[in-house]
Amino acid sequence: MITFKTLSSGITVLTLSNDHATAEVSLYGGQVLSFKPKNKNDIIFVSKKSLFTPGKAIRGGIPVCWPWFGPHATEKDFPVHGFVRTTQWSLVSSEENRKCTTATLECSSSPETEKFWPHDFTLSLTVSVGKNLELKLTTKNDDRESVSITDAFHTYYRISEIANVSVKGFDGTRYIDRVGGRTEKNQEGDVVISGETDRVYLGGKKCVVSDLSAKRTVTVEKDGFPDTIVWNPWIDRSKAMVDFDDDEYHCMICVEAGSALDNKIDLAPGAKVTQKMTIVPRG
């Protein structure tokens, strides 16, 4: 089943539900806000201080970072992680049955987007809700010129307590540590968080977010995304964000499927690429 609701800010949210799970997706930003397996707690985190206001990005959920990841390479005043997080998307198709509910959203180039990126494009996001949550992002270059992009599904996971969470699957993997600069390091053992963390892991098809207190694991599978980003703002950065509560770093971790930093995707005129992330919960 697919239903619609409109928030007081005017933002439209879709609810996708079936026998296995329920998810919410905002048309503003093309952003998943919730994924609840049947009789289970929400897997996705949204800050209680998030600004559901047009013109501002929603803090939490699964933002789509596109066509650049992180700050813009040359324009410091351009929005971090691109502009589609604050773009209105349209629902273009849907399918539903008892086991899976699917909605496809789309946004495309406009005079507003050309202020930040002077290229014609069509971007579509397909959200499929069942026992798992699957997201597909398709970029089509409608321009006469070749383009390069970086992107990510900037997924915020709701956890019980950051001290009891680890991310498995990166032992021996190279990563770029972006805290205080850009340093290449090698992961030893599981990823655990004990301070501000902003890492881009180079390679790997999947990883597992293990929440010991909640007795739950979430496997993150990806296709077409070469990198995985792990982020937690910790104490000082949490206090600096107006749309994030000071103590919320305890109950969230971002584990993101992405093409980041130097892993650019090149698209010739008329070309397109589809990238996929699947979230598999257990417990």
pLDDT tens digits, one per residue of 143-166: 999 999 999 999 999 999 999 999
Residue-by-residue DSSP string for 164-185: GEEEES-TT-EEEE-TTS-EEE
Give the list of residues 6+ apart from residue 51 with CB closer than 8 angstroms, or none: 57, 58, 59, 242, 243
Mind telling me the catalytic residues?
154, 256
Give the domain ranges of the chain: 2-282
* pLDDT at position 109 over 90: yes
CATH entry 3.90.1150.10 includes domain 2-282: no
Amino acid at position 264, single letter: K
| Residue-wise pLDDT tens digits, 211-249 | 999 999 999 999 999 999 999 999 999 999 999 999 999
Query: In b/e form, how buried is each residue of 20-45, taking b as 16+ CB within 10 angstroms?
Result: ebbbbbbbbbbbbbbbbbeeeebbbb
| Residue-wise pLDDT tens digits, 117-146 | 999 999 999 999 999 999 999 999 999 999
How far is Cα 145 from Cα 265, in angstroms, rounded to an integer? 14
Residue whose pair of structure tokens reads 């329920």 in the numeric block = 22
